[in-house]
Structure 1
Amino acid sequence: MSVRRISKKFSVQSVEASELKGAKFSLLGESTEAYAGIPTEVVDEDIEAEDEDNTQLNLFEEDDKTLPPMSNWFGKLAAYTGGIEPTVGETKQLKEKQTKSSDNKRLGTILGVFLPCCQNIFGILLFVRVGWITGVAGAFQTFLIVLLCCSCTMLTALSMSAIATNGKVPAGGSYFMISRSIGPAFGGAVGILFYLGTTIASAMYLVGAVEVFLKYICPQASLFGDITSDAALFNNTRVYGTILLFTVMCCVFMGIRFVSRFAAVSLAAVLISILCVYLGVFTVNPSRSPYVCALGGRLLSQDFITVNGTAQCHKNTTGPIYEAYCNNPEIATEESCAFFNANNISYFPAMPGLTSQKFFENFFESHYREKGKAYDNIDFPADRKYGQGSNIADVTSSFMLLLGIYFPSVTGIMAGSNRSGDLTNPQKSIPMGTILAITMTSLVYLSSPLLFAAICDGSVMRDKFGESYGGILLVAAFAWPHFWVILIGSCLSTIGAGLQSLTGAPRLLQAIAQDNVMPFLDVFKVITKRGEPLRAQLLCYGIAQLGILIASIDYLTPLITMFFLMCYGFVNLATMLNGFLKEPSWRPRFRFYHWFLSFVGLCLCIALMFISSWYYTIVAWALAFAIYKYIEFRGASKEWGDATRGLQMSTAKEAILKLGNKPIHTKNWRPQILVYLPLDENFQARHDRLLDLVYQLKAGHGLTLVASILEGDIIDRRNDMIAAKAHLSDLIQEHRIKGLAEVLVASTIDEGMKNMAQCAGLGNLRHNTLMVSYPEDWRVDCKSSGSKLSKFISTLRAAQACDIAMLVPKGIDSFPLSKGNQMIGNVDVWCIVHDGGLLLLTSYLLMRNRVWRKCHLRIFVVATEEDDIVNLKKDMTKFLYDLRINASVEVVAMSTADISAYVAQRTASIEQRRALLMQMKISTVEARCDPQLIVDQHRKPSSADINPADIVKSNCSIDSHKLLPAISATSTESSDQSPDHATNVTNTSSSDSASKEDTKPSNLKPDTESNDKPISNHSHHCTVSFATGSNVAVSESDKSTNPKENDANSELNRGINEFTFSPSNPLTKLVQKAAREAGSKEEHLLNKAHPGRM
């Protein structure tokens, strides 16, 4: 909606052009940032302005950089994909398709979705394992296995349909639906597992094809002896599987066209084979059925009882059975002969036809056995030398293991979504075609174990490779019209499924690499001139070769089950989250879904994983977690508006609302630090060592907000604000701080700090600590009205008004790096009075960091001469023990007379100082730079004070009640620092209660270390000084409610600020002693240890 220029005679005198520049409309009550939940990528587009020379003639002009014309906007809206974006390669393919003739054929529901899904779902397991599973588990338990698997896929199909219809679905299929629905980290992890599952599935298909070839089509092709032995079968499978894999990969290298043509042949083969199987079920009878021979219920191999082409199933002494059990000296034993004499021999049809007797015999009875045990008549040991053949269990069987073996037969439900780019109407065809395919295949799978149980003898179904009836595949033995139809059809369909897997898996890997979520996959982005991902194909070839070397379907299927169940589980998770959270952008056209059904599907997937194989499940989840963490820490940052972010927002909102505005209990208190980090003109941090200090306090596990303030107007400095915020975010990541970045544009820094202190945080996540750097050069420009000192004092007053503590590091640019050397020495905390444990907690949190971990914490308790020093030390030691803090305790006694004598001189000293300044004719501006006058002016008045009106007014003021008593600490660093290096950190926190005049005075504990800050009546503070070659000292004073005590506190601090040293004053002695140890003068030491004097 752009209003073009009009005639010159129209003018707007009351509105300046600068006020209209950048104005934005709102459409239907929605901000231009998002139209009814549509991402900004759809609506934002840079449009060049026309006739820029005459823009001043426009009555109104929109910001063309943010808003497109309505025609372009609707064009973009028509291409909205609901957050599912194609990769670069797929975008090029889509553009090429759009340039072709408009009458290009598109696929419908049947050809585009239904038939491909059927082809991928019907696999080798239906032909080679379903009968065996039915014989081992029984028809009822097999039906439960099939029902669980089909229910899982149906619930997943409902969830997938909801995702697929929530916007346009590009070519790319399952990976794009998952990654754009649950985020790049989860999507990438599941995408890799889905890729591995698809690649290993191709190996399973080829191993199955080789098994059909060697076992049922051409056993004479064995290269390693008797094919009935496991070792020979595995070795033959490895050789022929490698040859077949190479042949199939050559077909893959030829391109997608050849694969598509062979897919039609494979689909026809599988459909014809299944039709022949069902025709055989209803036409089989004893005359068409092969016969089997059993001794005591154990089937005997057809080759074992056949002599000269005739089956010898009898107990005659001239027969092969008697010879093996009783007459052959090499294998016959007394036990085997007794077994022969005790059991009868029977000869009966393997598939007598549909009978209720067989059905009920095979319905409930199961025959789970360990590897090497016989399925029938377990009293006699199983041995292949007695002709028992494949009636001996070659793998350990149980309900859980059979479930893991069977599940891959129901996979392939996402074949239709992979072809969404070729569909006429994907939002209609994908749900309908997929659900229809699952319904049809589920009917086939559910009916097959029941029909097999009704027509086959149980022992025959347990004969895994059909050795008792001539080595014929079970379903081929009763198929109509001939068993060769099933053998050839199953072999072709299996090779076709493997070919499609090896074609789709490289494209899936290339799509994941194209998304730039995993840097180590960048090498697989490359495609050939024909658009083939050659490098990804070579990797798939290597992984499939490893699967071929396993050489057994029974060992491959559990792995495939884990990977596919992970994929299906996350599809259900994405739909469940979107449906439960009810995001505004969640508007699928497919209505037959519910978040609870998706939740059931997710639970079913997880349950099936643990039921199939708990150790494979742990491996799969561990692999997924490792990939997730890799993408989270090393992968590219992607924002796709996924359901995971919506869950985080919803959870955060509920947590904040539950916290409410109730006061935080002492046990739950933690430092929520608001860090003010000033930026220069190039948006570079001036004191980035503040972030090192914040990182070293990370043990508090509080919320950290790194903020900066820009002077100006938000309209003019919007781009600067974005750039500054991006730089702050980079600094946070560089210093490994778990926090947020924020930039505020305000008219002045003072106003910005006040607004930041008031508005930072939300609810009980409001910040309780403000960290700012100390103004080192405050004397340089203190004569100006907007000096750094004035801004600093304004910040202190704002923090006190907002009832938050302050951390004011001095010399922060020399502060130890978080990645630097460890500090060695002592950290001494000087306790004047108990302040509630904040000093101990701060020291404890700091020492938990690696930099300070080697330091030892010492607590110095200051007491008067009248106090019981022994009991005081004992009580303090017990107090630290109860707090679980390891520290040593020392008690220092001081005389109260020293303090009393010092306090009596304070009022006279103030008056003398003022008179001296008047005699020197110091101007008002120069007087503003006198620290003591600043302190005196803002000190809280009392009965002993001079008249505040007589004090020189100053803009560079320090409000004494906003500052707190000092704690200084020093330690020795193990790095090569200069001896005179020092860093000061001042921690200030305010109190909630005001002093009362009628309160009884408390015992004042004087400071025994250099303390140049005025003692507040309402708060406390701590100063931590890290200096080489000196011990650590920490001193503390608490608030007082007695006016005389307040005066005493102020007198003590004023004396320190004026550098008044008395030989009888213990403070003087301590300072002089420290100066001698450091090898410096008293004045130099005080400047280093004192944050208030330069």
Structure 2
Amino acid sequence: MNPRGQRNSEEVALRRRSVEIGGYYYRISHQIGDDPEALKVNPTPELTTFGGIKLGWVQGVLIPCLLNIWGVMLFLRISWIVAQAGIAYSVVIIFISGVVCVITTLSLSAICTNGELQGGGVYFLVSRSLGAELGASVGIIFAFANAVAASMNTIGFCDSLNELLKSKNMTIIDNGPNDTRIVGAIALFVMCIICAVGMDWETKTQNFLITIIVTAISNYILGAILGPTTDEELAQGFVGLSVDRAKANWLPDYRFSEGEFYGFFSVFAIYFPAVTGVQAGANICGDLKDPGTAIPKGTLIALGISITTYLVMASLSGAGALRDASGVVNDPAVDSCKPNCPYGLHNNYQIMHLMAFWSPLIYAGCWAATLSTALTNLLSVPRLIQALGLDRVYPGLIFFSKRYGKHGEPYRGYVLVFCVSVSFLLIADLNMIAPLITNFYLASYALINFCTFHAAFFKPISWRPRFRFFNTWLSLGGFVLCLAIMMVISWVMALLTTFIFITLYLLVLYRKPEASWGSSTEAQRYQETITSILNISHRTANIKSFNPQLLVLAGKPGSRPWLLDMGGLLTKVGSFMLVADIVTTKLTLAERQKRRLAAEEIYRKEKFRAFYILLQEFSYEQGILALLQAAGIGRIAPNVLLLGYKHNWTVSSHETLLTYYRMIRASFKFGMSVSILRVPSNMRLPDSLMVARGANLDTNSVGRDDEDSTSVVRGPGRGPAAGPSFVDTGEQPLSQESPHSRAVTVMNSDSDLEIDSPLRYVADDQMPDQRFGCVVAV
């Protein structure tokens, strides 16, 4: 390509860029207009369940938490846990789980009482406390854990049903995994329909289920106290409460079971999902009348009741039943078949039916406990996914944010959670699923505790929880405890959970969602920034640490793309620029916001390290003097003035030229360097195009649109005026009689302006490179 053709292509590209940058301002101006209400930018829509039913602390927190905690482990695994770990270590397992849950509940209560709560559950709490990155990551993990927990409890229901059918010599297909898959899929579908019908139907179902569970627990306690009534019960391992039996079952007896040898922490992993219902109230916080009061009160009471229930039932199982039993009536050595006995705590998951006063009621209680927990899980996940979609954190979840009906039901979310739950239901093995979700729940609890610690430690101005019974270091201890338990249970699963969490975190970090919720991480960044600025200001300056910190007189957003480009090149590595816009008239709030939003969009799109400053009701000279003295903070202040070359100085008034000169002189007076950017006239846009972009073409202003590369002044009967270029030549100024002599004299007329090498005038046709010209005086 010949040089002329290359230059033409460069000119076309440069003009296209000017139109693109200027278009940002025009687009924002067109969208906003003059309505100040349009300037209220809120990237996060409201998450409350609009028009929904509002629940109190009993119906909205206490009962859902109890239903979630009284799950599959209560009737199907607590006796097996006692057989493996013994009464002593079962109490330790329940105690450690209780400590984790109590600390998490205290942390959760502190977060819940810090401001107004909306829908979204744990995701809303964490994201508004630690930011969108951590909140979205833990929200996805928590939603996944709840969906899998729904399948785990459904499997427990199916196992109990299979045992009942087996005892009646009945079967569907194989009285095993295939029956579990068929019945479980139907049960999940029905529960999703119940949840989708609405909160009122789900609440009525919960009341019915909690009544059955409480009756079944009472039935079991009564039967254990009364003792065995038949020889068959004795032969199958139920010998009645006694101190001797409690002593025999006091210590652990870990065994190989279902393809795995169990120890303390593997048994803990099986049990821990039983107490993961403390967040049930927070999951539907958008449906509560007063979540700040209801969540702490209801959750703590539910936790106390449920832990007491597990301790009582574990103690009764260990003190009233054998670990191994043959099932042979009148067998003198009923446990001689050990370790291959068909009955006993180790071998029969249905031993609670044997110990109960009326066994059919235990079946009803088991089904109510498992289905109620699954129902609570299925109810919370779609709302969490809906909140993530409304916040537009992950693009793939926006589809699930649509609301249906007067209560804003997330029907699409129900379809998603049904598919996920059914996929894990196909495993049909409760002991295999339980450890999987334990790590996810522990990770969620660890983040909740860390949220409270982080907020309480950095103390942002927005951190004012009404709940006072929490401690900063106790929350940190809960965070460390959760991580330690994760690693001890299964370091492989812990690393996998961590990898998934980091991946989700980095994905949000890469997308940079436009969300600002006043989180504690923002407060931490603010405090660290202020501390860094103070430290820099207190240090002695050194030439090696010099950075060009620019004050750019670019005027109205979009009117001087060349100045912004030059400033961006100078500051793109480790520095910044303050972009000034001086307006002599008074602007309305809408006009000021319009300019600010347009400038911020330009900086974001072009990745400029820039800050926009707008001064109104100042003359240009007064505004520049104010900026030179007051712009910046401490050492983080401009040290270079970047302005456009006044190409139309040959036709400007004498006062305008004096103002331009005083501006440069004042920069030297306050110890700043000056950089003047010149772009030849053939690179500048015509006036008509500038007007179309919304730029201001006030050709009589100084330091504004007539002095840089984007304005054109046409003389009578000729093309664009060819303004002079100032270049540092190291020679004395040429003496010449021309219209430019007056301007050159002005530029060199004051003795206060000390420049080592004078400025020489060079005509446009003498410039070796027609693209750019620049003069820097220090």
Same fold (TM over 0.5): yes
Contact 2:224–2:357 (CA<8 Å) still a contact in 1?
no
Deviation at 1:290, TM superposition (A): 4.2
User: Is the alpha carbon distance of 1:88 and 1:452 closer, same or farther for their aligned partners in structure 2, counting shifts above 3 Å?
Assistant: closer
- The reply to whether residue 772 of structure 1 matches residue 642 of structure 2 is yes
Contact 2:680–2:772 (CA<8 Å) still a contact in 1?
no
- The reply to whether residue 684 of structure 1 matches residue 627 of structure 2 is no
Contact 1:507–1:536 (CA<8 Å) still a contact in 2?
yes
- The reply to whether residue 638 of structure 1 matches residue 508 of structure 2 is no
Aligned partners of 1:605 and 1:537: how far apart in 2? 30
Contact 2:553–2:644 (CA<8 Å) still a contact in 1?
no
Aligned partners of 2:310 and 2:401: how far apart in 1? 39
Deviation at 1:744, TM superposition (A): 3.5
2:15 corresponds in structure 1 to none
User: Is the alpha carbon distance of 1:734 and 1:125 closer, same or farther for their aligned partners in structure 2, counting shifts above 3 Å?
Assistant: same
What secondary structure sits across from 1:743 in the alignment? strand
- The reply to whether residue 395 of structure 1 matches residue 265 of structure 2 is no
- The reply to whether residue 543 of structure 1 matches residue 420 of structure 2 is yes
Contact 2:548–2:570 (CA<8 Å) still a contact in 1?
no
User: Is the alpha carbon distance of 1:794 and 1:149 closer, same or farther for their aligned partners in structure 2, counting shifts above 3 Å?
Assistant: farther
What secondary structure sits across from 1:1085 in the alignment? coil
Deviation at 1:541, TM superposition (A): 1.3
Deviation at 1:734, TM superposition (A): 0.5
| Cα deviations by residue, 1:856-903 (Å, 9 ceiling, x for unpaired) | xxxxxxxxxxxxxxxxxxxxxxxxxxxxxxxxxxxxxxxxxxxxxx99
| Cα deviations by residue, 1:453-511 (Å, 9 ceiling, x for unpaired) | 33344457999998335974344254221333222320232122222322332233223
Deviation at 1:742, TM superposition (A): 3.5
Deviation at 1:736, TM superposition (A): 2.7
Residue 162 (structure 1) aligned to one of 110, 131, 136:
110
Task: State the identity as a percent.
Answer: 23
User: Is the alpha carbon distance of 1:1090 and 1:509 closer, same or farther for their aligned partners in structure 2, counting shifts above 3 Å?
Assistant: closer
Deviation at 1:425, TM superposition (A): 5.3
Deviation at 1:206, TM superposition (A): 0.8
| Cα deviations by residue, 1:730-766 (Å, 9 ceiling, x for unpaired) | 1121023455443343613343334334333323433
Which amino acid in structure 1 is aligned with residue 202 of structure 2?
A: V
Aligned partners of 1:743 and 1:557: how far apart in 2? 59
1:758 corresponds in structure 2 to 629
Residue 51 (structure 2) aligned to one of 92, 107, 122:
92
- The reply to whether residue 204 of structure 1 matches residue 152 of structure 2 is yes
User: Is the alpha carbon distance of 1:195 and 1:392 closer, same or farther for their aligned partners in structure 2, counting shifts above 3 Å?
Assistant: closer
What secondary structure sits across from 2:105 in the alignment? helix
User: Is the alpha carbon distance of 1:701 and 1:217 closer, same or farther for their aligned partners in structure 2, counting shifts above 3 Å?
Assistant: farther
Higher relative contact order (CA 8 A, sep 6+): 2
2:399 corresponds in structure 1 to 523
Contact 1:281–1:478 (CA<8 Å) still a contact in 2?
no
What secondary structure sits across from 2:656 in the alignment? coil
Deviation at 1:156, TM superposition (A): 1.8
Deviation at 1:262, TM superposition (A): 2.3
Q: TM-score, normalised by structure 2?
A: 0.76
- The reply to whether residue 275 of structure 1 matches residue 223 of structure 2 is no
Aligned partners of 2:259 and 2:403: how far apart in 1? 44
Deviation at 1:795, TM superposition (A): 5.1
- The reply to whether residue 709 of structure 1 matches residue 581 of structure 2 is yes
User: Is the alpha carbon distance of 1:688 and 1:510 closer, same or farther for their aligned partners in structure 2, counting shifts above 3 Å?
Assistant: farther
RMSD of equivalent CA atoms: 4.2
Residue 599 (structure 1) aligned to one of 476, 485, 494:
476
Aligned partners of 1:166 and 1:600: how far apart in 2? 21
Aligned partners of 2:93 and 2:773: how far apart in 1? 78
Deviation at 1:534, TM superposition (A): 2.0
Aligned partners of 2:420 and 2:116: how far apart in 1? 33
Task: Work out the number of aligned pairs and report it.
Answer: 679
Deviation at 1:571, TM superposition (A): 3.0
- The reply to whether residue 560 of structure 1 matches residue 425 of structure 2 is no
User: Is the alpha carbon distance of 1:397 and 1:454 closer, same or farther for their aligned partners in structure 2, counting shifts above 3 Å?
Assistant: same
Residue 376 (structure 2) aligned to one of 500, 504, 508:
500
What secondary structure sits across from 1:538 in the alignment? helix
Contact 1:516–1:636 (CA<8 Å) still a contact in 2?
yes
Which amino acid in structure 1 is aligned with residue 342 of structure 2?
A: E
1:453 corresponds in structure 2 to 318
Contact 1:776–1:811 (CA<8 Å) still a contact in 2?
no
Residue 446 (structure 2) aligned to one of 553, 558, 569:
569
The 10-residue stretch of structure 1 (497-506 or 800-809) with the greater mean CA deviation from structure 2: 800-809
Q: TM-score, normalised by structure 1?
A: 0.55
Contact 2:149–2:437 (CA<8 Å) still a contact in 1?
yes
2:690 corresponds in structure 1 to none
Contact 1:516–1:635 (CA<8 Å) still a contact in 2?
no
Which amino acid in structure 1 is aligned with residue 601 of structure 2?
A: D
Aligned partners of 2:125 and 2:48: how far apart in 1? 17
User: Is the alpha carbon distance of 1:486 and 1:754 closer, same or farther for their aligned partners in structure 2, counting shifts above 3 Å?
Assistant: same
User: Is the alpha carbon distance of 1:193 and 1:809 closer, same or farther for their aligned partners in structure 2, counting shifts above 3 Å?
Assistant: farther
Aligned partners of 2:507 and 2:247: how far apart in 1? 54
What secondary structure sits across from 1:742 in the alignment? strand
| Cα deviations by residue, 1:194-243 (Å, 9 ceiling, x for unpaired) | 22222221111111111222245437555665x6xxxxx44443333223
User: Is the alpha carbon distance of 1:689 and 1:449 closer, same or farther for their aligned partners in structure 2, counting shifts above 3 Å?
Assistant: farther
User: Is the alpha carbon distance of 1:557 and 1:754 closer, same or farther for their aligned partners in structure 2, counting shifts above 3 Å?
Assistant: farther
After superposition, residues 347-746 of structure 1 pair within 5 angstroms as 350-367=237-254, 375=255, 392-418=257-283, 426-458=291-323, 467-468=342-343, 472-529=348-405, 531=407, 532-634=409-511, 636-664=513-541, 669=545, 671=547, 673-674=549-550, 676=552, 678-680=554-556, 683-687=557-561, 690-691=564-565, 694=568, 698=572, 700-702=573-575, 704-712=576-584, 716=587, 718-737=589-608, 739-745=610-616
Aligned partners of 2:101 and 2:269: how far apart in 1? 14
Deviation at 1:270, TM superposition (A): 1.9
Deviation at 1:411, TM superposition (A): 1.5
1:786 corresponds in structure 2 to 656
2:98 corresponds in structure 1 to 150
Gaps of 5+ in 1: 1-63, 67-82, 98-105, 228-232, 293-348, 368-374, 376-390, 816-901, 941-958, 962-1015, 1017-1049, 1061-1080
Name whichever structure is richer in helix by fraction: 2
User: Is the alpha carbon distance of 1:436 and 1:251 closer, same or farther for their aligned partners in structure 2, counting shifts above 3 Å?
Assistant: closer
User: Is the alpha carbon distance of 1:158 and 1:202 closer, same or farther for their aligned partners in structure 2, counting shifts above 3 Å?
Assistant: same
| Cα deviations by residue, 1:11-62 (Å, 9 ceiling, x for unpaired) | xxxxxxxxxxxxxxxxxxxxxxxxxxxxxxxxxxxxxxxxxxxxxxxxxxxx
1:868 corresponds in structure 2 to none
Deviation at 1:361, TM superposition (A): 4.5
Deviation at 1:644, TM superposition (A): 2.8
User: Is the alpha carbon distance of 1:65 and 1:685 closer, same or farther for their aligned partners in structure 2, counting shifts above 3 Å?
Assistant: closer
Aligned partners of 2:81 and 2:680: how far apart in 1? 73
Contact 2:322–2:344 (CA<8 Å) still a contact in 1?
no
| Cα deviations by residue, 1:264-322 (Å, 9 ceiling, x for unpaired) | 22212222222233334433359667467xxxxxxxxxxxxxxxxxxxxxxxxxxxxxx
Which amino acid in structure 1 is aligned with residue 425 of structure 2?
A: I
Aligned partners of 1:425 and 1:1082: how far apart in 2? 77
1:312 corresponds in structure 2 to none
Contact 1:174–1:418 (CA<8 Å) still a contact in 2?
yes
| Cα deviations by residue, 1:358-394 (Å, 9 ceiling, x for unpaired) | 4444444452xxxxxxx3xxxxxxxxxxxxxxx6442
User: Is the alpha carbon distance of 1:1082 and 1:427 closer, same or farther for their aligned partners in structure 2, counting shifts above 3 Å?
Assistant: closer
Deviation at 1:410, TM superposition (A): 0.6
What secondary structure sits across from 2:655 in the alignment? coil
User: Is the alpha carbon distance of 1:359 and 1:181 closer, same or farther for their aligned partners in structure 2, counting shifts above 3 Å?
Assistant: same
Aligned partners of 2:392 and 2:510: how far apart in 1? 13
Aligned partners of 2:237 and 2:569: how far apart in 1? 76
1:335 corresponds in structure 2 to none
Which amino acid in structure 2 is aligned with residue 758 of structure 1?
A: Q
Which amino acid in structure 2 is aligned with residue 120 of structure 1?
A: N
1:968 corresponds in structure 2 to none
Which amino acid in structure 2 is aligned with residue 416 of structure 1?
A: G
1:134 corresponds in structure 2 to 82
Aligned partners of 1:464 and 1:588: how far apart in 2? 55
| Rg larger in structure | 1
User: Is the alpha carbon distance of 1:259 and 1:724 closer, same or farther for their aligned partners in structure 2, counting shifts above 3 Å?
Assistant: same
